[in-house]
Each structure stands twice: as C-alpha cells, then as structure tokens.
Structure 1
C-alpha cells in the first residue's frame, strides 16, 4: 500500500516525492518512453490503466494540442464553415475564447449524418462563422438581461422568507436553533433531512461568526453580540436561501407567501409555486453568473427544466412590470438575430423550447 506524508508541515517537496513514488507516476513516466504504436498495443491488452495526470488534469494520452487562432480557423474551414472576414473572426476568437464560441454553440449547426460518417465535426451546408457570432452574442445579452431580473427576484424571495421567519421566531439567534425548523416528519425528503439541516445550520453559524469578514457583521457582533438574521441574509446564496425555505415550519411558509404577495401586489402567491421558483431559479442564476450557455440550458435533477420553465418560475415571483419588460427585451434580441438570419432565430427558439408567443403573452 502506498503511504504519504501526513505531518503538519507537509511541504511541496514532500508532495513531489510522494507523486514520484506512486504507481500512477511510474506508469505515466514509462508510457512517455513508448512510441504511439507500442502504447496502443500495450493498452489493447490491458497492460496499462489510464490514470489521471496530476499535473495536466486530464487522462494521459488524451491531451488536446494547442492551436493558434489561425489553425482554429483553418480547422473550421476544413469542416465546412465559411468566413466573410477571417481577420475579424480571429480577433473575435481571441476576445471571446474558441471553446466558448465554437464548442458552446456548434450543436445547432452540425450536420449529424456527415459528422457520423467523417468521425469528426462536419457543419451543415451554408454554415458561416457569423452564425456562431449571432448565437454567442444573443446568449450573452440574454444572460445579462436574465441575471438582472433574477437578482431582483432573489432579493424579493430572500427578504420575504427572512422577514417571515424573524416575525415568528423573534429570538436574536433563533436561526441557529433546530427546534425553529420543521420536523423530519414534515420534510418532503426525509432521507436527506438531517444532513441538509446540519449543512444549513453550519452555513448560518459560519455567517454568524463572520466567516465572510464583512464590516457590517463585525459591527453587530461588537455592539449586540449576535447579528440578527436580516443582517446575515445579505451573505446567503440563492441556493442556501432555497434550503432555508425548505426547512421552514408551515407557519413561516404561509407567512412568506403572504409577505411576497403584498410585495408584488398580487392577490395570492401559492406555496407550491413559490417552492417551484426556489427550486428552479438558483440554478439559472448560477448559469448566468458564470457565463455559461443559457438559451438551451437544462437544469434540475432530471435536466428537465429549460427556458420555458425559467419563464414559468419567474411568473410566480417577478413583479409584473419587470417580467413584461424582460419578455420584450428577449423578443428584441430575437428580432436582431432574425434581421440577419431567420434560420438562426428558429434554432435559438428550438433550443429554448418556446415560441415567440410564449414571450408575447407575458
């Protein structure tokens, strides 16, 4: 069995020594001395397993070679992509990243039959690099507009549930008391109740101890001893706020719905609709925050929630005027694309899983 240094002053030199003594390293080192044909022959009969490279982060032998932007353009041309201005395309790729632009949006442009025959990407007849630009720029602006609305909704939902909790549990540190949360019998996913509650309370305790090192938390700690939840809530992530709502007693959930309906000027906000929003919106917020592809994103444990479900969740918790403004902004983005390519607009709507009418009805 391999042994590794475990003393408190474990140094980088110790790490390198342990790597070099490991079986994985020695296999990797030996494989470097083999020709490609020798390597394939030995792997074919199971001489080598394929360990992860500690330095490179991928599997040994599976590395992707670096390509200059000129080579990237040449590869795209060889696969059926035309270019109106290669100089502009080169600067665009240098600004935005080849992987984000091409790999991120190629699925809608690929000729699947030709790709299967060629064993490498082949693009549909008539594909131009401008099509990549249109999809990439649309999605980038869509993320910006969506993020702005999601931040408003996050603040509304967080304010409502924290306000409702504090109005019922008025002790200064009641948010750290397990008895202030729902019982296991009342929790929908009983198998994960204990682990999830411990995680939530640990998060709140870390904020209570000013783990984020915020000046406003330090002020409350020094002056009052224990910062109230409405102060700490500024540091709660959308995901943690969702978990906080899930663990509330029924009285707090009911009051949260009433509080949110008052804030939105709606007649009623149903608990199941609010729960749906809490379980849907945080993942879309993370996609927007990290610059990931949004238009065809699928979230949820079953990856069954797309842009249509995002619109549904927003309709439950967004102010009516903000939702209408957002819907108009998405239609305008689609109009800009359609002015250049009706084909790309259709592909975007297909990926979003909606029709224009779904936005016009908001």
Structure 2
C-alpha cells in the first residue's frame, strides 16, 4: 500500500465506531467572526461580514469547516466564535446549516441540524466605563462587557439533531462578577488599589460571552449541554485581569454543579440556584490548559477534578502528537500548543465510549483542512461518544 493510500486509510478509520445508541457530542472553535475574514487593521467590523459569506455558500474556509463537521458527524455540536447577529432573518446559524452543512463538501454526506440555539453574548456590548484603564472610554474592545469590537463578536451557537427544550434553557450572560462570593480581586500593581472603580465593579459581568445550560431531549431522556467560552488568560498586564476572570468563569460552572456552593447563582430570568438535572456534558473553548507551559494550576482542575465530572477519557489525535515535541501533545486542541477545548461528560447517567480530536497528520490528504490558520481554524474539533444510561 503506498503512503497516500495508507494515509487516507488512517484518516478514514481513525474515527471510532459509533454504535446505534451512541450520541456524539462535540465542540469546535470555528473562528467564524468578522476579523477573520477582513484585512488586518480593518476598522469596520460587524456581524454582517459573516452573514454575507454564509449567504453565498462558497467561502473556502467555511466550506472546510463544514467538511470537518460532516466528516466527524456529531449529533450535538457547540460552535465557539460564531458571530451573533440578531438582525439577520434567517439567522446566521440557519444559513450556515442550509448553505454549507446541508450541502455535500468534497463528496461527504451532507448533515442537518434541525434544532439550533443562539443567544446574546457579552462580547462587544458597550459600557460607559474605561474598564481597561487606558484613559479612553471607547465602548468596545477592552471597555465592553466582554472583549469585542462589535456586539456579538465571538458568539456561540449550538446545533443538534435532537430537540432542544428551549423553554428550560438557562443563560447567565448578565450575572455580575461582584455577586460571586470570594471573587478574585484585581488590583493596580503600582498602588494596590482596586482595578475597577466602585461603580464599575457594581456593573461588570462575569461571563465574557455567556454561560448556557441547554437541555436536549434524546429518547425521552434529558441531556444538559453546559456551554461556555471563558476569556483567554492573556492580553492583559501584571494585574492579570483576564487570568482571574478566566478562573472565575470556570469556577461559575464548577459552582453551578455543586449544590452547597450554587445558592448565589442566578440566571438571566432571575431564577436562583445551580444544576438541577442528572446528565450533562460540559463543552467549549475554555482557554485553560491542563498541562505544560500554558497550564495555570487550579483553574481547569475546578472541572476536571470535580466529583460529578468524568475526565478519565482525554480526546487525542495523531496530528496533535506530530505537531509538537511534548509527550502530551496528542491532547492538544489548538495549533498554538495546548488543550484548550473540552468535552467533559458527567459521571452519572452517561457511559463514555471514546473520543477524539480532528487533527490529521501531515501525510494525510485531509491535512489540507488544518494545514494553516486560513484552512479552517486555529482550533480543532473535539468530540466525545457517549451512551445515555437508563434512569
């Protein structure tokens, strides 16, 4: 067998066998936001940029994103960095499904997601404050509730083959950081004074995008998709405001799963308390490495060591292993060398069949889908195969 055929064999058969009662849950930071499609330094950004590309159905980078999804064929997938643009009718996510996923990419079987969920996020939503303390009140970027140049940048979307119980969805976009007991405090390094003025601290939201609890009905059973996209713990200064926010965003989800610590939490409808279901899967780009030079001790462990979370199966890939010298690089989910994206199922109510990361090796014909930043995304699709146990 020649090398090309062998590589194709590996690419096709590296995905685990999926049994009839198995549900494949995935997360994918798709980088489908305006600045990804415009020249560097462009001053005008909005959700309309993505919308126009989705209407055409022909953008090569988005077609590659769709092909990756078709090849892995998840039943439920969270898309991170998918611009939220509420003015669009139909919605941007509906156009992505119709014009890209519903159409075969490179002879792959088209895939449909009749159930979709989108909601507002904090990125780019203006405040009247100088939150980054640079002396200017811009209303966007570092002065927005979450870093973004326009409302909805770096949003989220959930696609599902199974019905979403929309009436039971809980979102936490407006939860105030100050309302978390023991929230990490940010101080100015030179003076030790609080980073945020009192009126700012009274208004700052914790979630840089949003936190979602989305119940999905599968064969009469509920599976809760717990989704988030915490801020990267970088792009700040010695005050470490993003690092501390990342920690507390992840803590919010950990506390949500812990009844004795969840009493302070309230959702966007004012309902208080934490997780009330049985089965869940945590998904998203958590921007929190679990090992290596980007690992911040005690951050991702809030979830991976949580008693309700099954973190025993770590999705891996041969492409990730090939991408760096570290012995643990097979678990990397981003080209910049870290495990940033997670699919973490609950211990109760679920049996894990396996998982993986879509990262073909360089010798594979499918490496064209991930060979550089412009091919698809700087992140890789991560999936987990689970079986819903009997109640």
Alignment TM class, shorter chain as reference = under 0.3
User: How high is the TM-score relative to the length of structure 2?
Assistant: 0.24
Which one has a larger percent helix, Structure 1 or Structure 2?
A: 1
Bigger radius of gyration: 1
